[in-house]
Amino acid sequence: MYRIIKIGMDVHSTNYTLCAMEPVIGAEDRIFANIKVTPDYKNVLMFIENLKLKLGLNDTYDIECGYEAGCLGYSLYNQLTAAGVRCVILAPTTMLTQQGQRIKTDARDAVMIAQCLSYGGDHPVYIPTEEDDSVKEYLRMRDDHKLALKKVKQQINAFCLRHGHRYEKTKWTIAHLKWLKQLELSALYRETLDEYMASYDEQTAKIERFDKRIEELASQERYQEKVKKLGCFLGIKTHTALSLIVETGDFERFAKGNVYAAYLGLAPGERSSSDSINRLGITKAGNQHLRLLLIEASGGICKGAVGHKSKDLRQRQNGNPADVIAYADKANTRLRSRYYKFIRHGKKRNVAVAAIARELACFIWGMMTDHIQMQKAA
């Protein structure tokens, strides 16, 4: 007898809750077990073997496990697949849930995951190569330090304001740093500010070191050409380009540019009923890290004259094929023009920037999939 078994796993750092389900079309699904075990993949393997003993060794089983993306990353997936067990990681924002459910437990979550596996109520997470994942972790570590630097800057600004010192010109320039060091403060206040400044110097030095290493990683053969192509766009330098490559993985898995934009959570939402159509903001359902990077990159696009090329952009484009540069120039001109058009028509800046980020995602998809003959973003 051929049997399909789905095992929903609600996983935490302290325990796993496992639910074995056999989907039945037109009748109630059969749930054979719903237990909690210590967080070890070997317990999942033991659970599967005990399940086979309970159901009968003469049957043929198609067993698939699944869990929500979260704290475990890809570790449990890698351990189970290495042991010969099919496993998927489910994207939480795509999972179907029961409306109006007011009771939430690990056991119920495990059942829901098994149901999603059974009836397709989810989208699996893309599993990167170990090399891409290691580069991704390094890039995110750098971004964590960037956030720490931002926090230190905020603390220094707040300290100065609390004690009546306000710098009116552009901050974090050489002149501003000199001004901070020359502020007349009492001994303990000066010691406090010096400690803040030491943290600032430490984080700045680390980020400079990380950025040099990122340049080295981007120059590897598997990334170099793609990074160089993406650098032809306004607002996209090495860090953002490499992040897009390693976090997206295979761009070909997206049928169109707008599908890729939706994956990043940049597609507009909608809540419509009958004749009523209500357009919402972007869904924010997807890769938050890449979405924020593209929003930041779009902020750079939304400055300057249409058609203008900075010296830095010309250097990044140098050495690329003519059709790649032409495609990027078309995108840069279109995106900047559309931004100013949005502003002229009264759109709020954040709304306009999000719209530009969505189109930029479409152009990036086109560049990475060699759809560079398209006239505009999908």
Question: What CA dihedral angle connects 45, 50, 54 and 59, to 10 degrees?
Answer: 40
Rounded to 5 degrees, φ, ψ at 364 are -60, -45
Nearest CA to 96 out of 86, 111, 107, 106 is that of 111
Q: Which two tokens stand for residue 201?
A: 């110097």
Looking at the structure, tell me whether residues 243 and 321 fall in a common domain: yes
323 within some domain? yes
Looking at the structure, tell me whether residues 254 and 328 fall in a common domain: yes
Looking at the structure, tell me whether residues 243 and 329 fall in a common domain: yes
- pLDDT at site 332: 96
d(CA 306, CA 303): 9
Looking at the structure, tell me whether residues 111 and 178 fall in a common domain: no
- Alpha helices by DSSP H, listed for 20-66, are 41-55
Where a domain ends, among 119, 146, 162?
A: 119
What predicted TM-score, i.e. pTM, was given to this entire model? 0.87
Nearest CA to 263 out of 74, 93, 87 is that of 93
Number of structural domains, the chain? 3
- pLDDT at site 96: 72
Where a domain ends, among 218, 249, 264?
A: 218
Looking at the structure, tell me whether residues 104 and 176 fall in a common domain: no
376 within some domain? no
Looking at the structure, tell me whether residues 198 and 214 fall in a common domain: yes
Looking at the structure, tell me whether residues 292 and 323 fall in a common domain: yes
Rounded to 5 degrees, φ, ψ at 3 are -130, 135
Looking at the structure, tell me whether residues 213 and 253 fall in a common domain: no
Rounded to 5 degrees, φ, ψ at 87 are -145, 145
**Strand 30-37 with 16-22, pairing:** antiparallel
Count of residues in the chain: 378
255 within some domain? yes
- Residue 109's domain comprises 2-119
374 within some domain? no
Could you please report the per-residue DSSP string of 324-370?
A: HHHHHHHHHHHHHHHHHHHHHTT--HHHHHHHHHHHHHHHHHHHHTT
Looking at the structure, tell me whether residues 51 and 90 fall in a common domain: yes
373 within some domain? no
d(CA 144, CA 148): 6
d(CA 74, CA 128): 9
344 within some domain? yes
Looking at the structure, tell me whether residues 74 and 20 fall in a common domain: yes
124 within some domain? no
Looking at the structure, tell me whether residues 194 and 146 fall in a common domain: yes
Looking at the structure, tell me whether residues 146 and 204 fall in a common domain: yes
- pLDDT at site 275: 65
The answer to whether 238 and 230 have CB atoms below 8 angstroms apart is: no
* Tens digit of each residue's pLDDT, the chain (378 residues): 788 999 999 999 999 999 999 998 888 889 988 999 999 999 999 999 999 998 887 888 899 999 999 999 999 999 999 999 999 999 887 777 765 566 789 999 999 999 999 988 778 899 999 999 999 999 999 999 999 999 999 999 999 999 999 999 999 999 999 999 999 999 999 999 999 999 999 999 999 999 999 999 999 999 999 999 999 999 999 999 999 999 999 999 999 999 999 999 998 876 666 666 666 778 787 789 999 999 999 998 998 999 999 999 999 999 999 999 999 999 999 999 999 999 999 999 999 999 999 999 999 999 999 998 754 444
183 within some domain? yes
CATH number at residue 91: 3.30.420.10
The answer to whether 365 and 254 have CB atoms below 8 angstroms apart is: yes
Where a domain ends, among 153, 186, 218?
A: 218
